[in-house]
Amino acid sequence: MSYTLTEFLAHAVAMEQEAADRYLELADMMEAHRNDAVAELFRQMNRFSIMHRDSILEHAKPHALPRLNAWEYRWRSPPEVGGEEGFDYLLEPYNALRYARQNEVRAMKYYRSVAAEAQDEELRRMAGEFAAEEREHAQSLDEWIARTPRPSMTWDEDPESHEPID
């Protein structure tokens, strides 16, 4: 599927806004459970997402952006997460980090596919840059995951949560 520049910008804004919202939620959850280090990481990711959203909005100024469907940009929960249980599940820093990582990888793949199929030079360049940025986010989450204790309950059944980033 090939996107126009405005469709792409609308997606990118929505994805960054979604990431900002989810990271803020995750940060509050970690903080409530006294995991200040992971809370701080999520706050930082929240700030990056807001900065990125604002710079995309700057680019998007001359364009009227199309409206999107929520499923096109909302973060996906791990498969066994639903309702109250899901909330408990994500209180584990390890699971919260994996959840964030999965959605960063999803964003990276979206940007890569746009870059690969772009007809327009500016679109290809921007999508390529954004993909590289998401890859860095996934990588820093990987570093945190590597030094975070693994809880007994994880979503290892889901192949997407282990997806390599290269």
Where does this chain bind Zn ion (CB under 5 A)? 104, 134, 137
Beta carbon nearer to Zn ion, 4 or 140: 140
Q: How far is the CB of 108 from Zn ion (least distance, A)?
A: 8
Of the candidates 93, 95, 100, the residue with the CA atom closest to the CA atom of residue 32: 93
Beta carbon nearer to Zn ion, 92 or 104: 104
For Zn ion, the nearest residue by Cβ is 137
In whole angstroms, what separates CA 158 from the centre of its chain?
A: 17
Q: What is the DSSP string of 109-159?
A: HHHHHHHHH--SHHHHHHHHHHHHHHHHHHHHHHHHHHTSPPPS---TT-G
Q: Name every residue whose Cβ is closer than 8 Å to that of residue 117 and which is 6 or more positions away in sequence.
A: 1, 2, 3
Beta carbon nearer to Zn ion, 33 or 161: 161
Q: How far is the CB of 19 from Zn ion (least distance, A)?
A: 5
Of the candidates 91, 76, 93, 81, the residue with the CA atom closest to the CA atom of residue 38: 93
Q: In angstroms, rounded to a whole number, what is the distance separating the alpha carbons of residues 3 and 124?
A: 10
Beta carbon nearer to Zn ion, 32 or 139: 139
Q: How far is the CB of 134 from Zn ion (least distance, A)?
A: 5
Q: How far is the CB of 152 from Zn ion (least distance, A)?
A: 29
Beta carbon nearer to Zn ion, 133 or 158: 133
Q: How far is the CB of 97 from Zn ion (least distance, A)?
A: 13
